[in-house]
Amino acid sequence: MTWPLEYQRASHDFEQFIVAARDAAGLATTNMAWTMVQGVLLAFRRRLTISQAIEFANVLPPLLRALFLEDWRPNEEPVPFSSRDALTEEVRSLRSQHNFSPDNAIEAVAIALRGSVDGAALKQVLAKLPHDAAKFWSVRSGSE
Per-residue tens of pLDDT for the chain, all 144 residues: 888 889 999 999 999 999 999 999 999 999 999 999 999 999 999 999 999 999 999 999 999 999 999 999 889 999 999 999 999 999 999 999 999 999 999 999 999 999 999 999 999 999 999 999 999 999 875 444
The domain total for the chain is 1
Check if the beta carbon of residue 25 is closer than 8 Å to that of residue 33: yes
**What's residue 141's pLDDT?**
58
Q: Residue 130's domain spans which residues?
A: 7-71+80-136
CATH at residue 110: 1.10.490.110
Q: Is 115 exposed, middle or buried (0-12, 13-18, 19+ CB in 10 A)?
A: middle
Question: What length is written for the chain?
Answer: 144
Report if residue 144 sits inside a domain. Answer: no
